[in-house]
A and B are shown apart, each in its own frame.
Chain A
Amino acid sequence: LAKTTQPISMDSYEGQEVNITCSHNNIATNDYITWYQQFPSQGPRFIIQGYKTKVTNEVASLFIPADRKSSTLSLPRVSLSDTAVYYCLVGVQNFVFGPGTRLSVLP
């Protein structure tokens, strides 16, 4: 399983765009990249998944360079309610979580 590395924590202010980068140098050809969000005392919630280039949905964008050794989750115009832990998963099965990035959105 590909190992992922993310910043442990990030701070931002309301209304800013937040970019969280995940490194996965040993990603395999068949691996997908998936991001989850988790609030305290709740299970993780799927945000977005991609294989290459760019994927966008109603809540986020995922940018994946051509070598696929990293990926960036982009959250546009964050609000206080986006304060959470964000996890990057890499794999075919995508079921192994790392420690995640704790995002704090400040007023």
Chain B
Amino acid sequence: DTGVSQNPRHKITKRGQNVTFRCDPISEHNRLYWYRQTLGQGPEFLTYFQNEAQLEKSRLLSDRFSAERPKGSFSTLEIQRTEQGDSAMYLCASSHQGIEAFFGQGTRLTVV
């Protein structure tokens, strides 16, 4: 394992469909973060986990967004009833005790 892995890299979906993204962090990292990034903007923090506990979720954009990390390893981010405004790059990062975060390549979502 050489880094954070995100799948899929690209996703095109029709408006109203549900999508799920997966993030596999670096194996010994206990913290995992999700971000959304749109063109020309910095990454927008969504939520983070310490092990399997979701410690911050107030910044999830709406109740259509949810994230899980069931066994403290990989995580999934789900967007229900997608809207065109959800089109963005979704980034995952992991860290050990929050010191240096390592980011994945991201999943680019296009809602048509």
By a beta-carbon cutoff of 8 Å, the part of chain A in contact with chain B is 34, 41-46, 49, 85, 87, 92-100
Known A-B contacts A43-B93, A49-B99; A97 and B42 likewise in contact (beta carbons under 8 Å): yes
CB distance from A68 to the nearest CB of B (A): 18
Which 9 pairs of residues, A with B, have the shortest CB-CB distance?
Answer: A43-B103, A97-B42, A46-B100, A97-B43, A99-B42, A100-B42, A43-B91, A96-B45, A44-B103
Q: Are A44 and B43 interface neighbours, CB within 8 A?
A: yes
Q: Considering only CB atoms, which chain A residue lies closest to B91 in the complex?
A: A43
Expressed in whole angstroms, the minimum distance between the Cβ of B42 and any Cβ of chain A is: 4
Number of A-B contacts (CB under 8 A): 46
Within 8 A of A (CB), among B69-112: 89, 91, 93, 98-106
Most chain B beta-carbon contacts within 10 A, residue among A44, A85, A87, A98:
A44
- Taking A43-B91, A43-B93, A43-B106 as contacts, is the C-beta distance between A99 and B41 under 8 angstroms? yes
Give the nearest-CB partner of A42 in chain B: B105
For residue B21, CB closer than 8 A to chain A, the reply is no
| B45 engages A95 (CB within 8 Å) | yes
Q: Is B68 an interface residue (CB 8 A)?
A: no
Could you tell me which residues of chain B, from 29 to 60, have a CB within 8 Å of some CB in chain A?
33, 35, 41-45, 48
Write 10 A-B pairs (CB below 8 A) sorted by A numbering. A34-B100, A43-B4, A43-B91, A43-B105, A44-B43, A46-B100, A85-B42, A95-B33, A96-B45, A97-B43
